[in-house]
C-alpha cells in the first residue's frame, strides 16, 4: 500500500490515478497511523512553499511526513513535495521545511520566463534507481519558479537547465524526490513511477 499525503494541496488525485494505473494500491490519507503502516509514501505539492508547510501543519502531518521520510521505507516527494524536504526556501524565508535534506530552495533567474511551464531535458546521474530504464536523456514536465539547492550534490540524481543548472531530482537512501511532475510526463513519467512502485513492492514482499 502506498499512502499519498492528503493535506488539501494541489491535484492529489492525479498522482493517485497514475499509481493505480501501475497496479499500486494508492490511498489518499491524512491518518498518521495509515501513513506509518504504508509500504511507501508520496508527498505531492503545488503552489507556494509556505502555504504547503502550513497545510501540512494544519492537517497534523508535519511529523508524520518527517517520520515517513526517515523511516527507511520508499518516500517520494513531487514538485513542492521535493522542496519541502529541504531546510527552507527563499519563497517563504520565515518558514522551516521538513529538514530531511540539508540545503536551500532558491528562485530561478529572472532572465528566463517564470514559472517554467513545459517539458525539459534531464541529465541523469549514472546508476540512478529512480531513472532506471528511462530514455536517455528523458524529457519531463515542469511547473515551477523555485528549485532546491541540496548542500550535498552527491544526492542529486537529475539536473536540468532553465536560466541556470538546477537539481531536479534527488535520491538518497529510501528518499526520492522530483521537481518535475512524473504523473504529467506521459509514458516516461509512468516508467519513473513504476520504479518507485517496485521499490514499495520490495518492502511489502
What does the pLDDT look like over 166-179, one tens digit per residue? 999 999 999 999 99
Residue 76 · residue 42 · CB < 8 Å:
yes
Average pLDDT over residues 80-91: 97
106-149 per-position pLDDT tens digit = 999 999 999 999 999 999 999 999 999 999 999 999 999 999 99
Predicted local confidence at residue 9, as pLDDT: 84
Instruction: Tell me the whole-structure pTM to 2 decimals.
Output: 0.95
Q: Does residue 10 surpass a pLDDT of 90?
A: no
Residue 20 has pLDDT above 90, yes or no: yes
56 Cβ contact partners less than 8 Å away, ≥ 6 residues apart: 5, 7, 62, 65, 84
Is the preceding peptide bond at 174 cis, omega within 30 degrees of 0?
A: no
Helices (H), 59-185: 62-69, 80-83
Arithmetic mean of pLDDT, 30-55: 95
pLDDT of residue 11: 73
Is the predicted pLDDT of residue 201 greater than 90, yes or no? yes
Give the pLDDT band of residue 204 (cuts 50, 70, 90): confident
Res 72: pLDDT: 95
Please state, rounded to an integer, the average pLDDT across all residues of the chain: 96
Q: Assess whether pLDDT exceeds 90 at residue 103.
A: yes
Catalytic annotation, residues: 79, 181, 183
CB 90 within 8 A of CB 109: no
pLDDT recorded at residue 34 = 97
C-alpha cell at 32: 498518521
1: pLDDT strictly greater than 90: yes
Could you give the CA distance from residue 120 to residue 29 in angstroms, rounded to a whole number? 31
Amino acid at each position: 500500500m502506498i499512502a499519498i499525503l492528503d493535506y488539501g494541496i494541489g491535484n492529489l488525485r492525479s498522482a493517485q490515478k497514475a499509481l493505480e494505473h501501475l497496479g499500486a494500491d494508492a490511498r489518499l490519507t491524512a491518518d498518521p497511523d495509515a501513513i506509518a503502516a504504508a509500504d511507501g509514501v508520496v508527498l505531492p505539492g503545488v503552489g507556494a512553499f509556505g502555504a504547503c508547510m502550513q497545510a501540512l501543519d494544519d492537517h497534523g502531518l508535519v511529523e508524520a511526513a518527517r517520520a515517513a521520510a526517515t523511516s527507511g521505507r520508499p518516500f517520494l516527494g513531487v514538485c513542492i513535495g521535493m522542496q519541502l524536504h529541504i531546510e527552507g526556501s527563499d519563497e517563504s524565508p520565515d518558514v522551516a521545511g521538513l529538514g530531511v535534506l540539508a540545503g536551500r530552495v532558491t528562485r530561478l533567474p529572472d532572465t528566463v520566463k517564470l514559472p517554467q511551464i513545459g517539458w525539459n531535458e534531464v541529465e541523469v546521474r549514472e546508476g540512478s534507481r529512480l531513472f532506471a530504464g528511462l530514455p536517455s536523456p528523458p524529457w519531463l514536465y515542469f511547473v515551477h519558479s523555485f528549485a532546491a539547492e541540496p548542500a550535498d550534490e552527491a544526492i542529486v540524481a537529475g539536473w536540468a537547465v532553465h536560466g541556470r543548472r538546477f537539481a531536479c531530482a534527488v535520491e538518497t537512501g529510501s528518499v526520492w524526490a522530483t521537481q518535475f511532475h512524473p504523473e504529467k510526463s506521459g509514458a516516461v513519467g509512468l516508467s519513473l513511477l513504476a520504479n518507485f512502485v517496485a521499490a514499495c513492492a520490495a518492502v511489502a514482499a
